[in-house]
Amino acid sequence: MNKVTIVGSINLDTNLRVQRMVKPGETIHGKEHYTAAGGKGANQAVAAARAESDTRFIGAVGNDAAGEEMLDLLKEENIDVSKVEIIENEATGQSFITIDDNGENAITFFAGANYAFGPEEVTNGSTLIETSDFVIAQLETPIEATIKAFEIARKANVKTILNPAPGESDLPQELLQVTDIIVPNETEAETITGIHVKDETSAKEAAEKFHELGIEVVIITFGAQGAFYDYNGYNELVPAFKEKAVDTTAAGDTFIGTMSSVLKTDFSNLKEAILYSNKASSLTIQRFGAQPSIPFKNEIK
């Protein structure tokens, strides 16, 4: 069982199902409205926990009903939330998600308490990081906090996984130097490297850019096509499992969280871990919502 610590976001998701995406200035009818637990960090933590990792979380919520609810839900997943800060005078983060009949989504993210914690709070959770196999972070929380977490991990020989989402074109060198694995989708890979990623050839070019930045393992997710990896002179597109998508929310988070639960710290089973995670993501896209859609280990097997 891997020990996985996530440094990241916790959100209450408000979901709206529509026939098609709205155009600027247009008003359309919604088909269904519901709320669910979300946030890229929390989604990845739930995926790791349901794949039976020993999962811990470092982050923040507001001192409000949404924050209390989100913490209760994480506790139900047996996730250690002892280092999740409750921030006064801040609202718990929220995401507003629109899903069309093709399963595509558009997301607006309000950070709230997710941006109200930093390096000091991460340092308070250093024991969790130092006793982990993997530490995962995204870009929905302050980069300074992520850098501190990855620096603590590097000193303790703990492997780091960066999900650079939402994509940013100018990531600090201090962060990249302490990143072992980077997992962008094709759009995020283009934002960071400037290379239009559309196939294996262009994915290889982008991977070379990431390697030049000091990152050992590159995994670029391609949605319905699968995931491309480049590591130690080997590269390959591992195909996705073909399923009809009803909601792609949390598919990428499921991939990363699940992968962290089975990947060996020497990366010797990288392709097998990607295949396993592709399977998990194929189950997620067949269900609505973020965390409610994430599968358990017995379902993946």
- The verdict on whether residue 11 carries a ligand-binding annotation is yes
- The verdict on whether residue 123 carries a ligand-binding annotation is no
- The verdict on whether residue 222 carries a ligand-binding annotation is yes
- The verdict on whether residue 194 carries a ligand-binding annotation is no
- The verdict on whether residue 287 carries a ligand-binding annotation is yes
- The verdict on whether residue 293 carries a ligand-binding annotation is yes
- The verdict on whether residue 96 carries a ligand-binding annotation is no
- The verdict on whether residue 247 carries a ligand-binding annotation is yes
Instruction: Provide long-range contacts, Cβ within 8 A and 24+ apart, for 156-159.
Output: 156/129, 156/130, 158/129, 158/130, 158/132, 158/133, 158/134, 159/133, 159/134, 159/135, 159/265
Contact 97, 105 (CB under 8 A): yes
- The verdict on whether residue 199 carries a ligand-binding annotation is no
| Residues taking part in catalysis | 253
What 3-state class would DSSP assign to 89?
coil
- The verdict on whether residue 112 carries a ligand-binding annotation is no
- The verdict on whether residue 253 carries a ligand-binding annotation is yes
| Token code pair at residue 93 | 């983060």
Each residue of 156-179: b (16+ CB within 10 Å) or e? eebbbbbbbbeeeeebeeebbebb
- The verdict on whether residue 9 carries a ligand-binding annotation is no
- The verdict on whether residue 12 carries a ligand-binding annotation is yes
- Separation of alpha carbons 123 and 136, rounded Å: 15
- The verdict on whether residue 17 carries a ligand-binding annotation is no
- The verdict on whether residue 56 carries a ligand-binding annotation is no
Q: What residues contact residue 189 under an 8 Å CB cut-off, 6+ apart?
A: 195, 197, 203, 206, 210, 220
Please report the DSSP string for 90-113 in residue order.
-PPEEEEEEE-TTS-EEEEEE-GG
Each residue of 43-56: b (16+ CB within 10 Å) or e? bbbbbbbbbebbbb
Residue recorded with tokens 């998990």 = 280
Q: What residues contact residue 297 under an 8 Å CB cut-off, 6+ apart?
A: 50, 51, 52, 261
- Separation of alpha carbons 159 and 289, rounded Å: 30
- The verdict on whether residue 25 carries a ligand-binding annotation is no
| Token code pair at residue 3 | 């020990």
Question: Angle at the Cα of 113 (from 108 to 118), degrees rounded to 5?
Answer: 115
- The verdict on whether residue 101 carries a ligand-binding annotation is no
> Binding site residues for substrate, as ranges?
11-13, 39-43, 140, 253
> Binding site residues for K(+), as ranges?
247, 249, 284, 287, 289, 293
> Binding site residues for ATP, as ranges?
185, 221-226, 252-253, 278
> Binding site residues, as ranges?
11-13, 39-43, 140, 185, 221-226, 247, 249, 252-253, 278, 284, 287, 289, 293
